[in-house]
Amino acid sequence: MPVIDVTDLCKSYSGRTVLDHVSFSVEPGEIFGILGPNGAGKTTTVEIIEGLRRADSGTVRVLGLDPIADAAALREVVGVQLQHTQLPDNLKVWEALDLYASFYEHPRDWRELLDEWGLADRRDTRFAKLSGGQKQRLIIALALVGNPQVAFLDELTTGLDPQARRATWELVKQVRDAGVTVVLVSHFMDEVEELCDRVAVFSDGRIAAIDSPAGLIAAVDAEHAMRFTPAPDAAATAIDLIRDLPGVSAVTRSGAQVIVTGRGDFATAVTAVLARNHVLVSDLRIDTRTLDDAFVALTGRSFDR
C-alpha cells in the first residue's frame, strides 16, 4: 500500500485553478521530491495532504487515513517541518524538543535526537543564539520527535552554507534509512538530485512528470553540446564530416575549438565519424544534461532561485 495516495486533486482560489487533477502516490521508505516553479501548486498540494487545507475535489489518503476526517490519528504518524518555522527566542533547545515531544502519544526520546542532529552541546542554548544551521537542524529534529512514519520537509537547506547543506542531506538519508518516508519540497536541483528516489515535477497546477532524477534527465531530449580541438589542418574536414549527422543542430568554431550542439546521442556519431576518417582531436568534452535541463524542458521555465 502506498504511504500517500493522491487521486484527482483539484483546487481553485477565487475561481482560479491552482491544482488541476493532480494524482500521485508515494511508496514506503522513499524520499519523494516535489519540484516546480513558484506558484506551481506545491505548497497547496502538500498542505492538503497534511490536512491544513481542503481540496475542492479528489481524495487523499496518508497511511490509509483521511487528512481531514482522521486528523487526530494522522498527527501521531506524520512529522511536518514548515517552511518558515520560528520558535520563541528564549526557548532553549531541550525545552523546544521536550515541548514538541509532549504533543505526541509515543514520542522519541529527544535526547537521542540531540545526539543524532549534532545538538547535544547546544542543549541549553536559547533558539536566538543558535547558528542558522543549528536552527535548521533543530527544526527538522522537531519534525521527527513524534516518531513519525512520514516526514514532510519543506525548503530544507535554505540559507545554509554548502557544508551545512551536505551534512543535512546525510542526516535526511539516515532518516529515510531508518524507515521514515520523506516528502521533500525543494527549490534546489542539486538537493533533489542527491536525495530523491523519485520526483514529481509540478507545472501550472499539474504534474508534468514523475520519475527518478536520472529518469527525468534521460527522458528529456535537451539540446546539449560537445567540444573538441582538432589538429589545425583538420578543422575544416571535421566540420564537413559532422555538419549533417543525425541529431546535430549546429557546428561552430571558437578559436581552435569546435563546438557541436545537438540532441540525443549525437556525440557517439560524431566521435565515430571522426575516428573513421582519421581526424585526430584532443580535449574532447561532452556537456552532461542536468536536472535543470529536464526542469526547463518540462515546465518551460528556467529555475530562478
Ligand X SMILES: Nc1ncnc2c1ncn2[C@@H]1O[C@H](COP(=O)(O)OP(=O)(O)OP(=O)(O)O)[C@@H](O)[C@H]1O
Among 42, 61, 137, 289, binds ligand X (CB under 6 A): 42
Q: In what order do the strands lie in the sheet with 57-62?
A: 16-26, 4-13, 57-62
> 84 or 278: whose CB is closer to ligand X?
84
Among 8, 12, 27, 39, binds ligand X (CB under 6 A): 39
Nearest distance in Å: CB 305, ligand X: 9
What's the grid cell of residue 187?
527549490
The SS3 call for residue 155 is coil
Nearest distance in Å: CB 213, ligand X: 19
Kindly indicate which of the ranges 32-40, 126-134, 161-169, 218-226 contains the residues binding ligand X, using the contact rule CB under 6 A: 32-40
Nearest distance in Å: CB 229, ligand X: 43
- The answer to whether residue 38 forms part of the interface with ligand X (CB under 6 A) is yes
What's the grid cell of residue 17?
485553478
Do 56 and 10 form a contact (C-beta atoms < 8 A)? yes
Kindly indicate which of the ranges 37-45, 176-184, 227-235, 292-300 contains the residues binding ligand X, using the contact rule CB under 6 A: 37-45
The closest alpha carbon to 121, from 99, 95, 93, 141, belongs to 93
What's the grid cell of residue 104?
505526541
- The answer to whether residue 103 forms part of the interface with ligand X (CB under 6 A) is no
Count the helices and strands in the chain (H runs, E runs).
11, 13
Amino acid, res. 237: T
> 26 or 267: whose CB is closer to ligand X?
26
- The answer to whether residue 36 forms part of the interface with ligand X (CB under 6 A) is yes
Nearest distance in Å: CB 36, ligand X: 5
The closest alpha carbon to 280, from 242, 248, 232, belongs to 232
- The answer to whether residue 189 forms part of the interface with ligand X (CB under 6 A) is no
Nearest distance in Å: CB 197, ligand X: 21
CA–CA separation, 102 vs 141, rounded Å?
Answer: 14
Q: Going residue by residue from 233 to 252, which x/- string records binding to ligand X, judged by CB under 6 A?
A: --------------------
Nearest distance in Å: CB 212, ligand X: 21
Do 274 and 199 form a contact (C-beta atoms < 8 A)? no
# residues contacting ligand X (CB under 6 A): 10
Do 151 and 81 form a contact (C-beta atoms < 8 A)? yes
What's the grid cell of residue 179?
524507515
- The answer to whether residue 136 forms part of the interface with ligand X (CB under 6 A) is no
Q: Where do contacts with ligand X occur on this chain (CB under 6 A)?
A: 13, 18, 36, 38-44
